[in-house]
Structure 1
Amino acid sequence: MKRTLRIAAVAGAVAIVVAAGLTTHESDPVRAGRSGKGHDIVIANGNDRLPNTTASDWITYADHVVAVTPVAESEIPPTPEEVERGEGMILRNVQLRVDDVVWSKAAPGRPAPTAFDWVAYGWSFQGPDTSQRVKMAGEDEPRLEAGHSYLMAIEWQEPRCSPGDEPVPGQWRGLGEDSTVPFDGQVIGDGELEGKPQSAAELLATQGIEEPDLSLEDEMTGKDAAALDHALDTAPPQTEEQFGPDPAETACK
């Protein structure tokens, strides 16, 4: 069950990557695990951008909840420093097609997209040849792979121009670990997680009936988008808090 929430209070601090879909830090531990097909996979820990475990979190911080399917991807080369060091990450730019808009805030930052790009984990490499690589995924998160579909709670982030940093273009971003969930066959919980197949039926069979503090993803496992829409429409709103720097301080002039 998912209950851990790690909010990144200072955006970009000690960051290797701050991208549309992920935030990874040098200080975060990385563990190696096994995928369902017997292949090695590196699982990375990161910090959540915003609260994202409950329906109230989603309606407070997301602009839209969309059903998406990856339609193409391309590799993002590692930095020259990583290549010289002989270890690092190869990320992916994943093109996502929006199949359905499940829910929208009354006054979203901008209309829901019909498609958007998403920076996702790709591979970890070691040695001078980046072809020696191991698949990489975020802990308890989908890797976003072709042949699968997902539900995503997304927020529009305006362009940012922080002093001393490269400008960051406006982009759709997730809230955190629990804001992207498997959605194959329009069943929440069916599909891919951490680069391996997952079954909603198997998850339900192991879910405790009296289990307290279930996340929204846990509560919706095995249900459809209409059930999620109802949960969001009936959730109590929260007072939105500011995490990270004030947008007024990073606005591009």
Structure 2
Amino acid sequence: MAAALVATAAATVAAVMVVRPTGIGERNGVAPTATVAPQADDLLPSVTSTDWVSYADQVVVVRPTSEQEVPASAEERTAGEGYVGRRAVMTVGEVLWSRSGAPAVPRSLTLDVAGWVSRGGERREFAVRGTSRLEIGHTYIVAVARLGDGTWSTLGSGASLPYDGGVIGNGELEGTTVEARPKRSGDGVRERMAGRSAQELTVLLRRTVPDPAAARHADLPPEERHARARAES
């Protein structure tokens, strides 16, 4: 196997991403408990509020209630190393924002989320840098969309926010419990909303204009909408 473990399952690690764990990252000089990949190739844009209103169907508060493993491939099991996926059931709470004409979100969502990487008989939790694993015992805000095959998914690695205690940024991040750290710079939803309330996020999303190219294809599934928008840009 290559030096970096590669997860390539079709709907793995929050919105069908191909992820490359490259080592143990640090936050404030302390190594987290999870193996942290520096980035992920997302199916859909998920960083800015424009991304959210262009491709999400719903932005909702969720709480994971159960989970199960998605086993590694036979090849990875034979090699003794690889990626073990995780599928989590989320209870959906408050709906914070809905795209006009979007399908209603179910009361319970099953999402493929970050799992584990194994090597040499050792298993470690996996996360993408700066993102949440979506763990039981925590609350989150997620931007989700119904894909062309009818399944629901988060948009990508930027589409989930810790939300313990009603404060955006408080909760689980990279497998560790953290407190919100408001920032004065950055145009991402995560940076702009840190330390704020869900109501403030709703105001931001209602004021945000979708990408015009995506808006022209609002009747298409989000992945097709994104492909059309890219082709026209």
TM-score range (shorter-chain normalised) is 0.7 to 0.9
Number of equivalenced pairs: 211
Cα distance, 1:175 vs structure 2? 1.4
Report if the CA contact (8 A) 2:15-2:155 is conserved.
Answer: no
> How does the TM-score come out when normalised to structure 2?
0.82
Identical amino acids, percent of aligned pairs:
32
* Correspondent of 1:187 among 161, 167, 171: 167
Cα distance, 1:68 vs structure 2? 0.2
Matches within 5 A, 1:193-204: 193-200=173-180, 203-204=181-182
Cα distance, 1:39 vs structure 2? 5.7
TM-aligned CA distance change 1:134 to 1:34, over 3 Å: farther
TM-aligned CA distance change 1:35 to 1:215, over 3 Å: closer
* Correspondent of 2:158 among 174, 178, 190: 178
TM-aligned CA distance change 1:135 to 1:35, over 3 Å: farther
- Give the match for residue 112 of structure 1: 105
Cα distance, 1:74 vs structure 2? 1.0
My pick for the range that moved more, 216-225 or 44-53, is 44-53
Report if the CA contact (8 A) 2:21-2:35 is conserved.
Answer: no
Matches within 5 A, 1:153-232: 153-159=143-149, 170-200=150-180, 203-204=181-182, 207=183, 209=184, 211=185, 213-232=186-205
Q: Report the AA paired with residue 137 of structure 1.
A: A
- Give the match for residue 165 of structure 1: none
Task: String of CA shifts for 1:109-147, please: whole Å, max 9, x gaps.
Answer: x111111111112211113x4xx2111112221001111
Q: Report the AA paired with residue 104 of structure 2.
A: P
TM-aligned CA distance change 1:101 to 1:88, over 3 Å: same
* Correspondent of 1:25 among 18, 21, 28: 18
- Give the match for residue 218 of structure 2: none
Q: Report the AA paired with residue 22 of structure 2.
A: V
| Structure-2 separation of matches of 1:235 and 1:93 | 31
Aligned-pair RMSD on alpha carbons?
2.4
| Structure-1 separation of matches of 2:192 and 2:226 | 26
* Correspondent of 2:74 among 73, 80, 84: 80
> How does the TM-score come out when normalised to structure 1?
0.76
TM-aligned CA distance change 1:87 to 1:22, over 3 Å: farther
List gaps (5 residues or longer) in structure 2: 1-5, 215-224
Matches within 5 A, 1:126-165: 126-127=119-120, 129=121, 132-159=122-149
| Structure-2 separation of matches of 1:134 and 1:115 | 28
List gaps (5 residues or longer) in structure 1: 1-13, 160-169, 247-253
* Correspondent of 2:8 among 13, 16, 25: 16
My pick for the range that moved more, 234-243 or 51-60, is 234-243
Report if the CA contact (8 A) 2:164-2:171 is conserved.
Answer: yes
Cα distance, 1:65 vs structure 2? 0.1
TM-aligned CA distance change 1:103 to 1:141, over 3 Å: same
TM-aligned CA distance change 1:16 to 1:64, over 3 Å: same
Report if the CA contact (8 A) 2:112-2:153 is conserved.
Answer: no
